[in-house]
């Protein structure tokens, strides 16, 4: 079938030096899928750029261009965390989407181990790096890479940005974030092979080794490092232990930073300047930039990312105190973020077809990795919606 493409999301991930992340990744194996033939354009991008690499303070207004249509500015500072908003000159109407967490909460999607369903033949059985997602809704479900799913035979993170079409069941790539469990019993309860979806994404280094390195052993090592920094030693070695702060002071610090970030973006929306994305730095170093095609998608996903960036910033504070350094407290450089995007977004793209509706373009270099998620739409559907605006058909690359 011929397809048109609409960009859903993208990602750039760099090195979080404070936590010991190494930026370079091993090469992938396998053959790239053939690029879908194109007869037209879908209604527009759904999301596109992600770059990963105390009291609150909002700086003087300053914006810099990321590319011809997107700008970055309006920072807010919370201790050693600086977060900027990303704006677009225009964006298309993308229709309705559910996040994986929303769909699961409304019982409109199931996430389970391979082989745990009634109609899974010829699936042979559970696999560390694959699960089944069934979308029972009449609208697409969008899942960001790094989304943490809890349960099954071991906790996992979604391996890549992906779209599950309405009423579709798909086998999707995942990476284990709980190395010492391979049983459907979790904390004394039988999961029956099913997962719940947590409102958090895996921390930066855990995502880098999964989404870009595709290296399960390195993912487990990264999880162990985050747990050690968090002062946690879970018997099953689950990343979820890092999300659960070990003491009241650390928990309060994370919640406070998260609230500062969320309130800043809420004020921007209330002022009529709805962002489509964000960038953040920890200890002055760029970590992640992510944009979506529409402010609605950012609004849905920002709480999960805010929770993760606050976790990473609080752990970096611990590292500073342990080494006898003062906690970083300056507003990070916007110019540094823009240069980071330029460096990480360069290079040849590898194509990965993850579901019937998803094509990911992956780039990697010594500075980090970038991803662009494109939703594949049957060309006939595009012809039926030929009245969409020209701005909706831009194919802007990260």
83 within some domain: yes
Q: Which domain range does residue 256 map to?
A: 3-28+36-387
CB-CB contact of 23 with 64 (8 Å): no
Cα-to-chain-centroid distance, residue 374: 14
pLDDT at 373: 87
- Per-residue pLDDT of 95-124, as tens digits, reads 899 999 999 999 999 999 998 765 544 446
245 within some domain: yes
Whole-number Å distance between alpha carbons of 10 and 33:
19
More confident residue, 334 or 6: 334
To the nearest 5 percent, what fractions of the chain are helix, strand and coil?
25, 30, 40
Please count the structural domains in the chain: 1
> What single DSSP character describes residue 393?
G
CA separation, residue 345 to residues 43, 145, 339 (Å)? 24, 17, 10
pLDDT band for position 190 (50/70/90)?
Answer: very high
pLDDT at 19: 36
pLDDT at 157: 98
CA separation, residue 56 to residues 261, 278, 298, 314 (Å)? 9, 17, 21, 15
> What single DSSP character describes residue 127?
B
pTM above threshold 0.85: no
318 within some domain: yes
pLDDT at 396: 27
321 within some domain: yes
396 within some domain: no
283 within some domain: yes
Token digits of residue 93: 């109407």
pLDDT at 57: 56
Token digits of residue 392: 């909706």
What are the backbone dihedrals phi and psi of residue 96, each rounded to the nearest 5 degrees, phi first?
Answer: -90, 135
Please state, rounded to an integer, the average pLDDT across all residues of the chain: 82
> Rounded to the nearest 10 degrees, what angle do helices 295-322 and 216-229 cross at?
60
What does DSSP say about strands 156-158 and 169-176: parallel, antiparallel, or unpaired?
antiparallel
What does DSSP say about strands 141-143 and 98-99: parallel, antiparallel, or unpaired?
parallel
**Residue 317 exposed, middle or buried by CB count within 10 Å (0-12, 13-18, 19+):** buried
Among candidate residues 53, 63, 47, the one with its CA nearest the CA of residue 19: 53
18 within some domain: yes
145 within some domain: yes
């Amino acid at each position: 079938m011929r397809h048109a493409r609409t960009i859903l999301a993208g990602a750039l991930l760099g090195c979080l030096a404070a936590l010991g992340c190494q930026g370079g990744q091993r090469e992938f194996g396998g053959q790239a899928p053939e690029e879908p033939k194109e007869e037209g354009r879908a209604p527009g991008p759904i999301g596109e750029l992600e770059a990963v690499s105390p009291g609150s303070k909002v700086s003087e207004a300053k914006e810099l261009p990321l590319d011809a249509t997107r700008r970055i500015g309006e920072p807010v500072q919370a201790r050693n965390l600086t977060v900027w908003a990303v704006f677009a000159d225009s964006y298309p109407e993308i229709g309705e989407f559910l996040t994986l967490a929303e769909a699961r909460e409304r019982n409109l999607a199931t996430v389970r181990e391979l082989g745990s369903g009634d109609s899974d033949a010829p699936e042979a059985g559970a696999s560390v790096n694959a699960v089944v997602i069934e979308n029972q809704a009449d609208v697409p479900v969008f899942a960001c890479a790094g989304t943490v799913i809890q349960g099954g035979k071991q906790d996992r993170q979604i391996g890549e940005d992906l779209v599950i079409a309405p009423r579709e069941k798909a086998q999707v790539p995942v990476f284990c974030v709980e190395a010492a469990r391979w049983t459907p019993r979790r904390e004394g309860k039988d999961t029956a092979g099913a997962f719940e979806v947590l409102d958090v994404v895996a921390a930066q280094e855990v995502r880098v080794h999964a989404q870009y390195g595709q290296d399960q052993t390195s993912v487990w090592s990264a999880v162990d490092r985050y747990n050690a920094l968090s002062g946690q030693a879970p018997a099953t070695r689950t990343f979820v232990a890092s999300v659960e702060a070990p003491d009241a002071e650390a928990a309060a610090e994370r919640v406070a930073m998260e609230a500062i970030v969320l309130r800043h973006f809420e004020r921007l929306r209330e002022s009529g300047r709805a962002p489509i994305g964000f960038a953040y730095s920890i200890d002055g170093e760029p970590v992640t930039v992510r944009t979506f095609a529409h402010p609605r998608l950012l609004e849905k996903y920002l709480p999960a990312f805010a929770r993760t960036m606050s976790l990473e910033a609080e752990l970096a504070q611990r590292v500073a105190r342990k080494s006898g350094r003062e906690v970083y407290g300056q507003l990070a450089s916007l110019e540094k973020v823009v240069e980071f995007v330029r460096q990480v977004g360069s290079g040849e793209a590898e194509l990965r077809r993850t579901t019937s509706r998803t094509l990911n373009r992956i780039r990697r270099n010594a500075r980090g990795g970038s991803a662009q998620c494109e939703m594949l739409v049957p060309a006939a559907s595009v012809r039926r919606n030929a009245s969409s605006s020209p701005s909706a058909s831009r194919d802007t690359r990260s």
